[in-house]
Amino acid sequence: MSYVNFKVETDADGIALVTWDMPGKSMNVFTVEVMDELDKIIDATVADANVKGVVFTSGKNAFSGGADLTMLKGMFETIERERAADPAGAAQKLFDAAGRMTWLYRKIETNGKPWVSAINGTCMGGATELSLACHARVASNSPSVKIGLPEVKVGIFPGAGGTQRLPRLINAQDALQAMTTGSSFSASRAKALGLVAEVVEPENLVSAAKELLKKGVDPVAPWDKKGFKAPGGAVWTPNGIQLFSAANGILRRETAGNYPAALAIVKCVYEGLQVPIDTGLRIEQRYFTNILQTTEAFSMIRSLFVSLQELNKGARRPAGVEKSEIKKVGIVGAGFMGASIGYVTAAAGIQVVLIDRDMEAANKGKATSEGLVTEAQKKGKLGKEEGEKLLSLITPTADYADIADCDLVIEAVFEDRGIKKAVTEQVEAVLKPGAIFASNTSTLPITGLAENSKRPEQFIGIHFFSPVHKMMLTEVIMGEKTGDKALAVALDYVAAIKKTPIVVNDTRGFYVNRCVLRYMNEAYNMLVEGIPAVMIDNVAKMAGMPVGPLALNDETAVDLSYKIMKAMIADLGEKSVDPRHMSLITHMVEKEGRLGRKAGKGFYDYPAKPAKKSMWPGLKDLFPQQDPDKIDVTTIKQRFLVTIALEAARTMEEGIVTDPREADIGSILGFGFAPYTGGAISYIDGMGVKKFVELAEKLAASYGPHFKPTPLLLEMAKTGDTFYARFNPYGEKKQAA
């Protein structure tokens, strides 16, 4: 029998090699067709008396990334389409769909012939669950091998047997940690835990799997045998009681109850370990069906799985512009930011010319990359030869003539219009005609900077976030005269360095910084109101933010906030900045010298390690303090999330951000906006615009006009519209009011 996605070859020893190799795809993913074919392969190998066992492997460089986007989108579309008309029927269909993979894998596990999974590369999600259902696993020792169940990161959980088989294979504590954090195992770690039987050289992978079968692999899973006991012990033993009590506490501390899927994992493991495997799988299926119907799962999958991949694949790239091959990039400004941009560019195999005012400064910039290479090598993320090759691609210089043949030049000098003007003129004096010039600016409008250019259509903004080698987001900023070619080249470059781009039209602060400033400003409001500083940051984290606003302000520098406020007053007048905020930050900078983490003191004190940072006690003396027992925590959480979401809505209403996917991804990757919401725009859509408007109006009545909903939000509340419908990224968009 022939298959589209698989090749099956049976050798003289009766071992069937099933190779998964989907045509036209760079990675194998689970689709309905794949599952249908796998079902037929199980039946065929069972029926064939010549087949003694099966080795399952991949024909790609990776094993599999898990489920297909379109399949997941289809499941959610089914929920939305059928729920209103027939809620019970829709739930049953979803339950059946959710169990398809579960019972297919159970069929492998109970087919009567041994299966061995030969894992050659990245193995995630449903692919890991398939491997767990096999009777043994062998992995390559390639660094590319990562085995994990990361579903919780996109709002769901391992719902094809993962919560049942993993804690039956390894101790429940390690299983819970892996699934609730979405972390992955290297091949060696997987072997140490007992997940894989052998780790071998890549070229020996299939032969090792076959040899394992020849030696004898039990076709009956341990948990299908009488008297089976899980490695971690029974749930009701003293160790079990201690584990699950601690697991619940840790989960509450880490997630503040914001992630239903994470809690469902603990419940599935707790309940499943008390019953036979088939009952446990049914329990898991029910929880999975429930989680799939939550707003969190819908929003997180849409943003962090579907939209993220679409943007990474060039969803916003202008049509009709030939793909550019960027061979050489010039970077002007070898400070930490410019040097770091050089590092990620060279890491992508692109030549870099790192230019500064003199060779000493340029060499210092390259030394930054040398430090990053050393750090990566210590962590095992970079080999010696790879590090040497990366550094060989970076050429420090003080001569602008060295960037004459660059395809793209990125300016990364100080946020000073005069300095940027001089750099633009010097670069354009030598740059080849077709090259693109980009400014890495975080606040200065691109249109104004492009006035210094003789070819503004080839001038664009590429805003990186610090630290560049860790932050995955870039804002690509369009000036009024920026052309399609400049946008295409910028997006091709961002794709080459493996960052996620959002395309933003020109405005002060662009998108991310506008939202971040709202977050910090609300913290200033709370300080002035007398809400204890430690409560402000802790409640922000309870709302789902990874870092409190005061801690974030310390990281970005308090004196930078001071400079931004002064610049806004100079450009837009005194009313552009709340005088209470100006007074607070002026006192912090000028009177106290508290400039942020870089100075060892800001809103927090930063003692020498190993001591931890602590909130500056002097903050409570600046304003009369409220009694914390009388402060409503829920309201504080709402204030933080709503003020950011309102700013995101304003940027869409103003046409700064035109695609809700970018508003959501930008808010999560840019500053960690509560990922469980799916992003700032999904937070509004998930709540419902009408309810969001009511909440905003309530907050405005108590805490100020900055919470007033925008005209567009008011209109959408009346019509029952959503941002994803009005600004449909897959079709025609309605005009903003």
Q: Which residues are catalytic?
A: 463
Give the CA-trace dihedral at 560, 565, 569, 575, to 10 degrees.
170
Give the whole-angstrom CA distance, residue 457 versus residue 482. Answer: 4
What single DSSP character describes residue 590? I
Which has the closest alpha carbon to 247: 267, 229, 233? Answer: 267
Residue type, 478: M
In whole angstroms, give the CA distance from residue 156 to residue 295. Answer: 11
Q: What number of other Cβ atoms are within 10 A of residue 583's Cβ?
A: 13
With a CB cutoff of 8 Å and minimum separation 6, the contacts of 508 are: 443, 445, 514, 568, 571
Give CA–CA dist 653/657, Å, rounded.
Answer: 8
User: CA distances (Å), 237 to each of 232, 234, 243, 436, in order?
Assistant: 10, 6, 10, 66
3-state secondary structure of 415: coil
Do residues 272 and 284 lie in contact, with contact meaning Cβ atoms separated by under 8 Å?
yes
Residue 442: C-alpha distances to residues 126, 414, 556, 582 (Å): 40, 10, 12, 21
Q: What SS3 class is residue 199? A: strand
Residue whose tokens read 């509450």: 252
H helix runs in 530-659, sequence order: 533-542, 549-556, 558-572, 579-586, 633-653
Per DSSP, the residues of 60-112 read SSSSB-EE-HHHHHHHHHHHHHHHTT-HHHHHHHHHHHHHHHHHHHHHHHTSS
Containing 70, the helix (H) or strand (E) segment is helix 69-83
The owner of tokens 């047997």 is: 161
CB atoms within 10 A of CB 498: 11
How far is 43 from 54, CA to CA, in rounded Å?
A: 12
Cα distances from 211 to residues 52, 71, 112, 135, 139, in angstroms, run 13, 36, 19, 14, 14
**3-state DSSP assignment of residue 153:** helix
Question: How are beta strands 473-478 and 459-464 bridged, if at all?
Answer: antiparallel
* Beta-carbon-side half-sphere exposure of residue 488 (alpha carbons within 13 Å): 13
DSSP 3-state of 154: helix
Task: Round to whole Å and give the CA distance between 475 and 484.
Answer: 16
Element (H, E) at 355: strand 351-355
Compute the C-alpha angle 19/159/240, nearest 5°: 115
CA 555 from chain centre, in angstroms, equals: 20
What gap in Å lies between CA 532 and CA 536, rounded to an integer?
Answer: 6
CA pair distance 169, 131, nearest whole angstrom? 12
Return phi, psi of residue 119, to 5°: -95, 115
